[in-house]
Chain A
Amino acid sequence: MSESDNENGGRGWFGRLRAGLSKTSGRLTEGISRIFTHRKLDEESIEELEELLIMADLGPATAARIADNLGKRRFNQEISPEEVRQALAEDIAAILEPVAQPIDIERGHSPHVILVVGVNGSGKTTTIGKLAAALRAEGKRVMLAAGDTFRAAAVEQLKIWGERTGCPVVSRAAGADAAGLVFDAYSKARDEGYDVLLIDTAGRLHNKANLMAELEKIVRVIRKQDESAPHDVLLVLDATVGQNAHAQVKTFGEMVSVTGLVVTKLDGTAKGGVLVGLAEAFKLPVHAVGVGEGIDDLNLFDPSDFARGLMGLER
């Protein structure tokens, strides 16, 4: 933990994001330069551009559309690598712009209930820890519910985050019924006047009907106490995920009405490029991105910075 903290200590969030995206953008930039240094924008170069976008996980369909788009505007013109990057960044930012929305907890709910879901290993618990820290910094009273009663030591992991952020953690023994625990956590948070209740859940593959039914049950149980809850359902996506992210958003969306996305591990080599396709297909808000392992490494999603970072451009 401390190592990455120190490493990231001196930089702003854009710096960290850009460092995170640098591998991708490094290759993209290099590729773009190679394509365009000596050429006009012709069909072959558009195809190569498309491939570079595919390699950033934008997916074949989105990549083709973005590349074609640029082609239509600038076909047969001399265009510098810098201009290509500019244009692509603008196109990508335009796609992402509508989905960049911070999470709004000032909607008059007490407590405001946030359910956090996702496949195994996507980073739910860490995201909850960072979210709790951010909300605490705003002066909110936050309670955490350790709804992952399945994975070994998941409760312990959340408790450590609870200690770090000064939030109480409602938990039960491993193997306990998660829905029951959530019911109790809600009562407690309401009775004791907490502003926000963050609910962790066990990671589950979205194609497992029985596990998804469990998740539905958690939602049903919360609604017994507050029909409007959960007020936010966050799907946590790992930036390394490929096109399967579409299946995840679709299925989790159908089962528990996902209201927003958080993308984690953007500080790795992974592109997170799938976000672009997701924004087009689902139009779900992207609330935040995780760009490091430190407690403060959760940032608002800024489409322009993200797109420019992806293309290796300065802000």
Chain B
Amino acid sequence: MFESLSDRLGGVFDRLKRRGALSESDVNAALREVRLALLEADVALPVVKDFIDHVRERAVGQEVLRSVTPGQQVVKIVNDHLIEMLGGEAAELNLRAAPPAVILMVGLQGSGKTTTTGKLALRLKTRERKKVLMASVDVHRPAAQEQLAQIGRQIDVATLPIVFGEMAPAIAKRAVNVGRREGYDVVFIDTAGRLGIDEAMMQEAIAVRDAVNPVETLLVADSMTGQDAVNVGQAFNTRIGVTGIVLTRVDGDARGGAALSMRSVTGRPIKFIGVGEKMDAIEVFHPDRIAGRILGMGDVVGLVERAAETIEKEDAEKLAKKMQKGQMDLDDFVSQIRQMRKMGGLSGLLNMLPGIGKMQKELAAAKIDEKMLSRQEAIVLSMTPRERKRPEIIKASRKKRIAAGSGTSVQDVNRLLKQFQQMQGMMKKVGKMGQKGLLRGGGGLPPGLFPGR
């Protein structure tokens, strides 16, 4: 989501790194680029100004002039301030209420409320063994209640039976009553999507809120939102009162400035991010990691965590280690192809690795797509164990046999071998850059960057 911003800042700081001492005008030149990058990333203007002012204040003067590597110092200041603005530590759902804990979902039309409701319900059900009830009070959009009911069946979470013609606050009240009577731990209330200025809909949401007294009111917002993020955040926060934000479609390529904007105008934490279409594609928001991603530091912690959830923990550690050392044979390659698919495909995986920002264009040029992954799997499976261990022994006749066996061509086999080589090289490089990133709280910066620290 933040790749382009990373690239941009990367370019700025590359220039800074090449200079000796850092003057105030250097800082200002860098900050002009940062400002433009943030604006192009759809960070709201007032938030950008605030950000720039703070960074300038910290960057110019003693701190920087004393530093051995001024460019890196600016990176650090920008990084720290990003983390600070994004909200310090990760925040979980607050369920501290007499059961059922009511969670109210609000947001603009099409922001992804209903899908997010399903994802959070599934998360609470599977991870915390909560008994969850979902109710849609969207009586406006055609088939909205049916949509939640279908999601409920899909993830095996109860939904409130639909009573045709019932008003929103009444549905909400009924949901809580059913929740209490039938011993549910958590009740999700999915409200109708509304446009910020729609007073009637806002009133309805307030009536729903007052009817159920929610412990959490989550604002669901699209990460592609532009400058309007400020209005949205303010409107919902002042009118309804928001306790947290869920950012959706973070798996898109939007630069995601909305994250910064929303967080800073509401003062509420971003609690979760939606990262895909599947019902388990939701993650806790980690400001430090996202800030690291913004600055092109990658998100190795996220990678390891997601891997640990999808595959065995040991395997995950092995995988991360192997990737960092660049020690893979083709057997690992194929088992990793399988694991990668589980973890959201190659692109999802690579996005989380440090230092990938700049390589991404090359990768895109190499056209790594998911279909190719299955073809590559077939090719490797057509090799003998010995060939998989020592790919260098694969010469012309072996290639022909492998191609025939996998239903591909010799060129495809060649391409795979070459890509495997490149990948090994790349992983080695990545490993060198990202070792420190594996340690949480290590600042996500490569070791030795701040000798003075």
> Which A positions have Cβ atoms within 8 angstroms of B?
1, 3-4, 7, 20, 23, 51, 54-57, 59-60, 119-123, 150-154, 156-157, 159-161, 174, 205-210, 213, 238, 240-244, 247, 265, 267-271, 273-274, 293
Contact = CB atoms under 8 A, between A and B. Distances in A.
Contacts, number: 156
B197 A268 contact: yes
A244 B254 contact: yes
A268 B195 contact: yes
A269 B142 contact: no
Nearest to A22: B197
A120 B235 contact: no
A159 to B, nearest CB: 8
Contacts of A60: 36, 39-40
Given A205-B249, A240-B225, A265-B108, 16 more contacts: A121-B112, A123-B110, A152-B148, A156-B143, A157-B147, A174-B150, A207-B251, A213-B371, A240-B108, A241-B225, A241-B226, A243-B41, A244-B42, A244-B253, A268-B197, A268-B198
B151 A269 contact: no
B402 interface: no
B44 A241 contact: no
Contacts of B42: 57, 242-244
A210 B370 contact: yes
27 contacts: A4-B200, A23-B197, A54-B227, A55-B45, A121-B110, A123-B109, A151-B147, A152-B151, A153-B147, A157-B143, A157-B144, A160-B142, A209-B347, A209-B370, A210-B370, A210-B371, A240-B108, A241-B226, A242-B257, A243-B41, A243-B255, A244-B224, A269-B228, A270-B228, A270-B231, A273-B227, A293-B140
A273 B227 CA distance: 10
Given A121-B110, A174-B150, A268-B196, A240 B253 contact: no
B252 interface: yes
Q: Interface on chain A toward B: helix, strand, loop, or mixed SS?
A: loop
A242 B224 contact: yes
Nearest to B196: A269
B92 interface: no
A209 B144 CA distance: 28
Interface in B130-150: 140-144, 146-150
Contact of B369 (A150, A159, A160, A210): A210
B143 A160 contact: yes
A54 B230 CA distance: 13
B252 A121 contact: no
B277 interface: yes
A41 B91 CA distance: 47
A20 B231 CA distance: 14
